[in-house]
Every structure is written in structure tokens, then in C-alpha cells.
Amino acid sequence: MHAVYPLVLGALLFAIGLYGVLARRNAITVLMAIELLLNAVTINLVAFGSIIRDALNIGQVFTLFIITIAAAETGLGLAIVLLIFRQKGTAGIDEQRTLAEPARLPDLSKLADRSSEPSPSARTAP
Amino acid sequence: MNSTAQTLFNQSSLGHSYLSPTGLEIVFVLIGLVVLGSGVLVVTVQNLVHAALWLVVCLGAIAGEFLLLGAELIAWVQVLIYVGAVVVLLLFGLVLTKAPIGRTDELDVKHKLPALLVAAAAAGILVTVLVNAYKNVWFDPRQAVSAGTASANGAALFKFWVLPFETLSVLLLAALVGAIALSRRQGAEKDGGV
């Protein structure tokens, strides 16, 4: 088999996953695109393991490691997404603005005004 | 090591041609088209549940590619863990976050065109580099079949890769504990608040 076939397949799948990570809005579909990225890497690893048949079997063993890490990553990622959904009511990653920098200078002054007055939770607590 | 690999490549490139693909290559390209087509659908379909189901097709076809490359154990692990567990987890995530059933405005975003540009640039650069680097390399996946069995993988894993293997078990435990801790925090706060 020509070595270019599996390598080009891995490269194109990587590009597809990259588009998914950048363009999708729902956090869970972003996780799906990350799975595509990891699978592109595993195709490359298996292909090179089949081309260079070394004594350590490094390509296939590292593929097993990557599959394990992907399972752990998916579990943790879903736990984080569920936590965000419970707190904010949405799983869209473009609506998570808590840590975003203020866009323009007028927003900065507004932010300063808001920080000087008591927060809503402090007002409603007593 | 590098020079021996180089001579291996040069020897194995004798007697091959672009113009006469073997049956193995034809099957590989056909399954590869399934992988790429379902992968494109995963990232472009507007219905989120359908995207997760197309991911099953994509990952299953990748398992077929692993079989064709001679990695038997990896193919079945791929089917078991990815198709069996990860996709089910993702579907659970979609259900638990009340993802909209049916068409969504998921992809109507401003940065769609830049994302497409980045992906196209990555594909172009990677394919150009890989084709230029490996255009003279042929290999026979049948010779890798003996390295892809469960016994060969197990021997390599427990002879040479014991420390990474055990480290990964600690990582899995940490991920498990972390996922449980993250999921429990909300309820614990509520109990403490009352």
C-alpha cells in the first residue's frame, strides 16, 4: 500500500475536526470535533506503526494510550459542560462571557460603576 | 535505525506504481471516503443528535481502516470504547443539556468563513508536506498483522511500556474522581445553603 493514502486521510480528517472545533457553538459538538482530531492522530500512529514495524510496537501502543486519554477527556469535558449548563442554562460556548475582557473603553467605565454598587446577591440577601 | 528504515523504504518501493492500485488500496480509499464524508457531516449537520450518530459511522469506518492497516486489537478497542462508550456519553450529554431536537442555528456564526479558511489552509499544508515527504514509500500491511494481535500488543505493553500504562491508570482514576467531584458540587452547596 502506498504510504500516502493513510497519511492524507489523517491530514484531511484533522482539517475537518479543526473546522468543527472552530465553527461549532454547542460545547458537546466541539467535543465531538475533538474526537475527530484525536482519531486523525491515531490513524497517523497506526499507519506509521505499520510502516516502521519496530520492536517496541510504539505506534499501536500509543494508539491505545490515546484512546484511553480520549475517554478520560470526554468524561471530564462532559462533567464540566453539565456543570456550566446547570449554572448558566446553556451549553453554547459563545455565551460564556464571564471571563471575557470588556470589548471597548466605555464598557470599562460601566464596569467600574457596576463594581462600586453592591452586587444583586448582596442586596437581596438581607 | 533511520538508515535501515530508509533502505527498507527504498527496497519496498520497487515494483510499485501509482497507476495500478492494489485491491487493498481501493478498499482503503473507499472506506476513507466514508470516513471523510461522515466526518464532514459530523461538523456541518444542523441537527445535533444526527451529528452524534454520524460520528458513530465515522469512528466505525476508522475501525475498518485500522483492520486494513493490520492493527486488529486497535480496531476492536476503537469499536468498544469510541463507538460503544464515548458516543453514548456524548448522546447522554446532549440529552442532559436539553440540546434542541431538530434543526438549530448552530452554524450561523460570524466566524464560519475564517474557520473554513483555517481548516482549508491546514489541509493544504499538511497534504502538500505529507505527499512530498512520503511519495516514494510503500509498505505491506500484511506484514504488520503479526504486530497487531492482542498477544503482540500485550507483550509490548507489559515489556516496554509498563510505566506509562500505570500512569494512565492513575490518570483514569483522577478523571473519574474529578468528574464525580464536579457533578456533586452543586448538590453539596444546596445542602449546605439550607
Examine residue B32 and state whether it is found in any structural domain, yes or no: yes
Examine residue B53 and state whether it is found in any structural domain, yes or no: yes
Quick check: B57 contacting A, CB < 8 Å?
no
Tell me the C-alpha to C-alpha distance, in Å, between residue B114 and each of A19, A104, B13, B42: 9, 23, 40, 19
The domain in which residue B65 lies consists of 16-143
The percentage of residues in chain B with a pLDDT greater than 90, rounded to a whole number, is 54
| CATH code, domain with B40 | 1.20.120.1200
Minimum distance, in Å, between the CA of residue A103 and any CA atom of chain B: 17
Cell of B60: 466505525
Q: What is the pTM of this model?
A: 0.83
Which amino acid is located at A32 in the chain? M
Query: What secondary structure letter does DSSP report for B18?
Result: T
pLDDT at A117: 47
pLDDT at B1: 47
Examine residue B185 and state whether it is found in any structural domain, yes or no: no
Whether B190 has a pLDDT exceeding 70, the answer reads: no
Beta bridge partners of B138: A2
pLDDT at A98: 79
pLDDT at B99: 77
Per-residue pLDDT tens digits for B82-97: 988 999 999 998 888 8
Whether B155 has a pLDDT exceeding 70, the answer reads: yes
Cell of B189: 452547596
Examine residue B133 and state whether it is found in any structural domain, yes or no: yes
pLDDT at B101: 74
pLDDT band at B15 (very low <50, low <70, confident <90, very high): low
Which of A35-44, B12-21, B111-120 has the lowest average pLDDT?
Answer: B12-21
The total of structural domains in chain B comes to 1
Contact A15 B28 (CB under 8 A): no
The domain segmentation of chain A, as residue ranges, is: 4-115
CB contacts < 8 A, A to B, total: 254
Minimum distance, in Å, between the CA of residue A96 and any CA atom of chain B: 15
pLDDT band at A61 (very low <50, low <70, confident <90, very high): very high
| Optimal mutation site among A39, A66, A85, A94, interface B, most CBs of chain B within 10 A | A39
Whether A106 has a pLDDT exceeding 90, the answer reads: no
Question: Domain spanning A4-115 has what CATH number?
Answer: 1.10.287.3510
Query: Could you count the other beta carbons within 10 Å of the beta carbon of residue B102?
Result: 9
